[in-house]
Amino acid sequence: MSITQDLSGGPALTQERRVVTEIPGPKSRELMARKEAAVAGGVGAVLPVFVERAGGAVIEDVDGNRLIDFGSGIAVTSVGNSAEAVVRRATEQLTRFTHTCAMVTPYEGYVAVCEELAKVTPGDHAKKSALFNSGAEAVENAVKIARTYTKRQAIVVFEHGYHGRTNLTMALTAKNMPYKHGFGPFAPEIYRVPVAYPYRWLTGAENCAEEAAAQVIDQITKQIGAENTAAIVIEPLLGEGGFIEPARGFLPRIARFARENGIVFVADEIQSGFCRTGQWFACDDEGVVPDLITTAKGIAGGLPLAAVTGRAEIMDAAHSGGLGGTYGGNPVACAAALGAIETMREQDLAARARRIEEIMKPRLTALAEEFPSIGEVRGRGAMLAVELVKPGGKEPDADLTAAVAKRCHQAGLLVLTCGTYGNVLRFLPPLVIGEELLNEGLDVLRSAFAGE
């Protein structure tokens, strides 16, 4: 095998789990020492192994260990790591030019991505987009656009929501540690309301949608004033807050209230978008058509890109020059996005996500029957989670969650945790993962719960 072949990743990388050293291994530990000396301490690492190459649903570290990837870089490499179409298109673009700044001299790739977003996002109305670098940037700009369009200031967000790490998006985010702690003061005119969290709704899941919607509408009407509210911003399937599926009926009711009161309804689909939940967007599940939708993560197969897409008349509210940024819609990232969308279409990755759910949900449910510490199995498509509690009730068990995750890591399975209480294991496998590898990862997860 040649050196070039040995170092190649992408689809050619053998899709197998292989643990040859302790994890992290000696080379990763050496690199971690260098990281600690050179990188700011606030930049953490879920699993301190250093990656040599990756492809499909496997990550290989510098020590030769191959891990099954149930994280996808937090839902970024949905089309697989170094997917062929992403690499091909990005490489072709690199040979032409790397940057001009779309606000100075534009290029076709930026327009082409916006055209694709108009096609795949919910609704058949006229749409326009603006491109940015990160999910947080997209959310900030959605707020800017909504405020400009409505001439109002108040922004409504939800308990357990996560929207980013910039000053405004920290204000929008619910969880304090590690996202907000010590970083204030935050932007004003942000109001938080309840979300329909069925597992923890006090009067029962069957009452959740109606009661939660009534509370939200009452708080907006009485405490804020619908006439003062520029936007309602919500994740249709909450990510960092615990992969919470709002009770069915809740999102359509909130969207209808927004429409009736001239409020811009913003769907934050940064984690849930691009086939992740078994449809192109999580909003599609209940036929909710947002006024604005924010996307990032899975949009470009690993390159930094984000977007705000929405009704043309709303998107055009901002004055010329009011939206943009030096790197927003970088040509190489745009090329990668076109490759990612091509892959999603050609391989029908929405259907692949549904197949992942068909395999994972029954096995996770069986785990819940075997281990009473699993309070709930939830999610859709390839965006699934288990919430861990102390047996006999619903008290969150963050310590057990961390312990199970650590056992998975040591056995060669990369999993992530989340949740306001730190007690949720979330699973975000690449949508291209093979079924044999998927089942092997679930075997490792079962062993981790058993303490093996």
Residue 9 is predicted with a pLDDT of 83
Residue 120 is predicted with a pLDDT of 98
Query: Which residues 6+ apart lie within 8 Å of 143 measured at CB?
Result: 155, 168, 172, 230, 231, 233, 266
Which whole-number Å values give the CA distances from 186 to 152, 165, 435, in the listed order?
19, 11, 45
Residue 333 is predicted with a pLDDT of 98
**Angle subtended by helix axes 331-346 and 84-96, to nearest 10:** 150
Residue 77 is predicted with a pLDDT of 98
Residue 5 is predicted with a pLDDT of 41
Does this model's pTM top 0.75? My answer is: yes
Cα 90 from Cα 300, distance rounded (Å): 10
Query: What are the 10-residue block averages of pLDDT along the chain, 452 residues in total?
Result: 53 95 97 97 95 97 98 98 97 98 97 98 98 98 98 98 97 96 96 98 97 98 98 98 98 98 98 98 98 98 98 97 96 98 98 98 98 98 98 96 98 98 98 98 98 86
Quote the tokens at residue 351: 């259907």
User: Which amino acid, residue 451?
Assistant: G
Residue 314 is predicted with a pLDDT of 98
Residues of 140-159 as b/e, b for ≥16 C-beta within 10 angstroms?
bbbbbbbbbbbebebbbbbb
Residue 7 is predicted with a pLDDT of 57
